[in-house]
Amino acid sequence: MMPAMTSSTATETSPTSGSSRPITTVGVVGLGTMGAGIAEVFARNGFTVIGVDVDDDGVARGRGHLENSTGRAVKRGKLDEAAREELLGHISYATELKALADADIVIEAVVENIEVKKAIFRELDDLVRPETILATNTSSLSVTELSTATRHPGRVVGVHFFNPAPVQDFVEIVKTVVTEPSVLEDATALVRRLGKNPVVCGDKAGFIANTLLFGYLNHAVSMFEGKYASREDIDAAMRFGCGYPMGPLALLDLIGLDTAYEILDTMYRQGRDRLHAPAPILKQMVTAGMLGRKTGRGFYTYEAPGSPVVVADDKTPSADEKPQLRHDLKLVGVVGTGTMASGIVEVFAKAGYDVLFVGRSQDKVDGVVATITKNFDKQIQRGKTTEETKAEVLARVSGTTSLDDLKDVDIVVEAIAEDLSIKTTLFENLDEICKPGAILATTTSSLPIISMAKVTSRPQDVIGMHFFNPATIMKLVEVVSTVSTDDAVTETVLALCDKVGKVAVKCGDRAGFIVNALLFPYLNDAVKMLEAHYATADDIDTAMKQGCALPMGPFELLDVVGNDVSLAIQRELYLEFRWQGFAPAPLLEHLVTAGYLGRKTKRGFRDYSSR
């Protein structure tokens, strides 16, 4: 339960804040979802809040947002009724800016239109006291340009809250070249008093989070527009492959496609990076009024405008289209004994399949069995499985050092070194050894599958089956068809993934498939941002974890994946797409050259030697 609020909360100044101006009264201009959320945050912390909207209807909508939001907080036990009444009592409403004459700070949260915002700042400049801070919640527009609408540009600063403001802890504080140091200091201290985590950055379109987020979202739209993968598969890939809370297309529907288009267009006009040029389908959808959840239709169709409930439409896969096993699969072969191969063996054996795996030596073969045994022992100790299940699964697993023993398998999955020459040699051998009709699958994460298929006499039976590490835990498998893959083989592998408890997504044979093609350009953009000294690695990681709810920041993830692996994938993407924005960041290349590969070498973007 939230403790009762007192009005003294807003008048206290932290001894470490360095605040030079007392801030007790906050004006909020614009009471849409964002503005109402900002008003709630300040009122929750005991500030006197004056909310202004263009007319009585706007005020009524804003009041409704606040009543609904605080009502939900009461239902969830985050707020008691007395605290809710006190919170709402801190807020008054008006339809004219002159009501803000005595405010200590005014935060503008109106439509993302530069002229509309400038008009507001121009009028506020004449109304408020000289020491009043004028702040904008813009997510992409130039704070510097907004400041030029005033006679005192030094008091203008960006204070970019994230939606929903009462929940999201991250706030970007955006300074211009003329923002007064005291204004920057006071705005930052104020945000800290709200219990938020502020990060200061320069005035660049998109700031930190949106610069990185919207390039990724735009690329996902292009992937959908080009019919490379379905909306469901693109979203599932990023949720199950990267642990993202939402897929990119569902997230765009939540943000609003009109908002996304304006942010991307602003970023492109400033930076001229093709990655930020809005995908044509975005403009078409905005023109058609398909703005996402708020209109009931965007990339998905919703139960009603404003509803989060997705309903079936003409793009929704039919239950009758569920993939079926078109090949009879009983015996599974796996080539490899590393971490990925061992995990794949365990996945198939747990699902009831007999598995024959091949290693280069008997020690390697014994190592796979030892790894699976250890995994089971840990689960048994935690009460998650039994000795009987362990014995049943291990009884289905057998190892060999001879590829020739794979002659009777129905499908073979290779999980060896990510080296095209080694893989193509293996596929030549598998083609000669395996019986006609056996499916030959590769777990490659970036190499062209058609290059493996073409060295066989059965390219129609060759397919990508990209598991994610660790295979026993990660739910996603990318099923990658080449131009030669038979439809029955694709359908069989999709059905097989479902049978072994995985979420399968279908895509074509091109660099990065879905996940890596979306993930690594975003990581590369983060390196470029660091390289340009726009923000620190810690601030960028904080922005993406707290502002976008990602499980790891880009530099944490790069150091886990390995900078050498990341560079190799980024080079493949650049060679495939030839987009300048995909060119590997020089800093990434320099780190790899220096041997700073991440956690595995104890140094990458961070130093792990003392950890």
Catalytically annotated residues: 139, 160, 172, 210
Largest CA-CA distance found in the chain, in angstroms, rounded: 85
Q: Please, are residues 594 and 559 in contact by the beta-carbon 8 Å criterion?
A: no
Taking the C-alpha atoms of 283, 289, 294 and 298 in order, what is their torsion angle to the nearest 10 degrees? Answer: -60
Q: Please, are residues 199 and 173 in contact by the beta-carbon 8 Å criterion?
A: yes
**Amino acid letter, 578:** R
Phi, psi at 134, each rounded to 5°: -110, 120
Taking the C-alpha atoms of 384, 387, 391 and 392 in order, what is their torsion angle to the nearest 10 degrees? Answer: -50
Residue 158 burial class via C-beta count within 10 angstroms: exposed 0-12, middle 13-18, buried 19 and up = buried
Task: Give buried/exposed letters for 197-230 (b at 16+ CB in 10 A, else e).
Answer: bbbbbbbbbbbbbbbbbbbbbbbbbbbbeeebbb
Query: First and final CA of the chain: distance in angstroms?
Result: 37
Residue 6 burial class via C-beta count within 10 angstroms: exposed 0-12, middle 13-18, buried 19 and up = exposed
**481 forms bridges with which residues in the sheet?**
508
Q: Please, are residues 477 and 497 in contact by the beta-carbon 8 Å criterion?
A: yes
The rounded Cα 72 to chain-centroid distance in angstroms is 26
Number of C-alpha atoms within 13 angstroms, CB side, residue 272?
0
Sequence-ordered list of residues with C-beta below 8 angstroms from that of 554, at least 6 positions apart, any chain:
212, 522, 523, 526, 527, 540, 541, 544
Task: Give buried/exposed letters for 557-583 (b at 16+ CB in 10 A, else e).
Answer: bbbebbbbbbbbbbbbbbeebeeebbe
18-23: long-range pairs with CB below 8 Å, 24+: 18/185, 18/189, 19/185, 19/186, 19/189, 19/190, 20/182, 20/185, 20/186, 21/104, 21/131, 21/133, 21/182, 21/186, 22/104, 23/47, 23/104, 23/105, 23/133, 23/186, 23/190
Handedness of CA 249, 255, 256, 262 (dihedral sign): negative
What is the Cα–Cα distance from 546 to 584, expressed in whole angstroms?
Answer: 26
**Amino acid letter, 550:** L
Closest CA to 211 of 203, 223, 220: 203
For helices 33-44 and 81-89, the axis angle rounded to 10 degrees is 110
For residue 381, how many other CB atoms are within 10 A of its CB?
9
**174 forms bridges with which residues in the sheet?**
158, 201
